[in-house]
């Protein structure tokens, strides 16, 4: 239910600036998400390099994420945000100049994807960490939720804009616009007036981080069930996560011989599916077994990839992308809920940290998708990935102990709706 307090954070000047900054930066992000794979296809024609460029973008996020918290705690938040946005400015700006001079090559796109990806691990936790300094505690929950809308709304709008630009302009204009948007975002951060309390660096922060990780890993192995949650999540990250960034551009451009602008439009369709999926799950009165829901997501994703591999028309592709993106977007939330529900109170942080680390399997999936598409074609590659998802689900259902674990419900009695909403609002 919407009431006056819901939008109270917009009464704070600095929150309005932050929200607008996130909105503008997200527009640039989704322009890049659509344009970069299409550009690598047109420059190289290599499906394998399409997987490599996605892996290159994800790699620095996963490498730097464990130390991001230490840096955020030691340095002023505005400085960290400006540094993160500078990486985006450098990446899009250099590629804009290379395209303008007709010097752009595939390896340059890959290297600059690494530069751009290095900002993600810092950007989201830093802008969330700024909120307590901007709004009163009473309005913090609303501020956290509203700050997400600036990002999620552009998943659809940014992708549609990218499709239109791919229709009527070339890549030079797109990366030029991205540079302007990233620069505008950095200026907005500088305009924030909030003054933070002086940071007190913890000299044992790195050691504490390592102790937290090892404690979480030991707990997961001893308890066994967290390994199952992580394993199910890894299956989806490997076989389903890369389809949109690797396979969809190949299906649209090479298999169906459609204009490259349709890549952007289909990403927007995926954004609609992801948003509606989140709304449906968040509106459930009770989620009795996240374990079974995760398996159901894998089954739906496997069916979507299988149908997509044989899609004869863009309408069928759009239908599959709608459900595929809904599965990808909500898997992390459901897996986090499973960990949140099972884990003892003192282990919840370590449990969610393990979930963040398993995102590293996306790199494996990106390289696998690129290799399959390059060696046997995008359609056969999608068919194999869909079959792997369905095969893993069948294997889980055929194992009595796993089947018993999937349908355990009494362990979720203490999970509140607030816990679920908090987890479902995290960045994916």
CA-nearest of 253, 243, 267 to 157 is: 267
> What is the Cα–Cα distance from 297 to 389, expressed in whole angstroms?
10
Tokens of 253: 């451009």
Handedness of CA 246, 248, 251, 256 (dihedral sign): negative
CA dihedral (378, 379, 385, 390) in degrees, to 10, reads 170
3-state secondary structure 182-224: HHHHHHHHHHCCCCCCCCCCCCCHHHHHHHHHHHHHHHHHHHC
Per-residue pLDDT for the chain (428 aa), expressed as one digit of tens each? 444 566 778 888 888 998 899 899 989 999 999 999 999 999 998 889 989 998 999 888 777 766 776 677 677 888 889 999 999 999 999 999 999 999 999 999 999 999 998 888 788 778 877 877 788 877 766 776 677 666 777 888 888 999 999 998 889 999 999 999 999 999 999 998 876 654 555 555 555 556 666 766 777 777 777 777 888 888 888 999 888 888 999 999 989 999 999 999 999 998 888 888 877 776 666 666 777 788 888 999 999 999 999 999 999 999 999 999 888 877 777 777 777 666 676 666 666 667 767 777 888 999 999 999 999 999 999 999 999 999 988 887 777 666 665 655 444 444 444 444 444 444 33
The runs of H, that is alpha helices, within 343-415 are: 348-358, 361-376, 378-397, 400-406
Handedness of CA 293, 426, 321, 226 (dihedral sign): negative
Domains of the chain: 13-192 (1.20.1250.20), 207-428 (1.20.1250.20)
Beta strands in 89-143 (DSSP E): none
Q: Is 408 left (phi over 0), alpha (psi -120 to 50) or beta?
A: beta
pTM of whole model > 0.95?
no
> What is the Cα–Cα distance from 89 to 407, expressed in whole angstroms?
48
Distances (CA, A) of 400 to 297, 394, 403, 405, 412: 20, 12, 5, 9, 21
């Amino acid at each position: 239910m919407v009431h006056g307090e819901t939008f109270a954070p917009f009464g704070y000047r600095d929150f309005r600036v932050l929200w607008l900054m996130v909105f503008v930066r997200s527009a640039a992000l989704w322009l890049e998400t659509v344009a970069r794979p299409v550009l690598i296809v047109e420059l190289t024609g290599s499906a394998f390099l399409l997987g490599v460029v996605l892996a290159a973008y994800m790699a620095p996020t996963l490498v730097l994420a464990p130390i991001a918290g230490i840096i955020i705690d030691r340095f002023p938040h505005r400085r960290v945000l400006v540094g993160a946005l500078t990486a985006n400015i450098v990446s899009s700006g250099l590629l804009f100049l290379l395209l303008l001079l007709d010097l752009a090559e595939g390896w340059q796109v890959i290297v600059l994807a690494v530069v751009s990806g290095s900002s993600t691990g810092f950007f989201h936790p830093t802008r969330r960490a700024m909120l307590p300094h901007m709004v009163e505690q009473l309005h913090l929950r609303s501020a956290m939720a509203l700050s997400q809308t600036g990002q999620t709304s552009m998943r659809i709008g940014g992708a549609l804009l990218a499709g239109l630009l791919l229709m009527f302009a070339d890549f030079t204009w797109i990366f030029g616009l991205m540079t302007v948007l990233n620069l505008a975002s950095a200026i907005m951060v500088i305009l924030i007036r909030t003054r933070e309390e002086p940071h007190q660096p913890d000299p044992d922060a790195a050691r504490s981080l390592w102790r937290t990780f090892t404690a979480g890993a030991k707990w997961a192995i001893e308890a066994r069930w967290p390994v199952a949650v992580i394993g199910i999540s890894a299956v989806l990250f490997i076989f389903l996560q890369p389809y949109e960034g690797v396979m969809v551009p190949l299906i649209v451009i090479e298999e169906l011989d459609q204009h490259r602008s349709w890549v952007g439009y289909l990403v927007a369709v995926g954004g609609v599916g992801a948003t509606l999926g989140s709304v449906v799950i968040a509106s459930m009165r009770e989620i009795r077994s996240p374990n079974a829901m995760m398996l159901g997501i894998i089954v739906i994703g496997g069916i979507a990839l299988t149908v997509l591999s044989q899609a004869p028309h863009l309408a069928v592709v759009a239908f599959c992308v709608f459900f595929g993106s809904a599965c990808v977007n909500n898997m992390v939330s459901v897996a986090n809920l499973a960990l949140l529900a099972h884990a003892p109170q003192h282990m919840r942080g370590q449990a969610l940290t393990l979930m963040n680390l398993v995102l590293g399997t996306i790199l494996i999936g990106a390289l696998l998708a690129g290799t399959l598409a390059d060696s046997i074609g995008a359609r056969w590659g999608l068919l194999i990935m869909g079959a792997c998802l369905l095969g893993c689900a069948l294997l889980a259902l055929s194992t009595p102990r796993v089947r018993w674990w999937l349908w355990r419900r009494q362990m979720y009695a203490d999970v509140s709706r607030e816990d679920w909403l908090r987890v479902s609002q995290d960045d994916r």
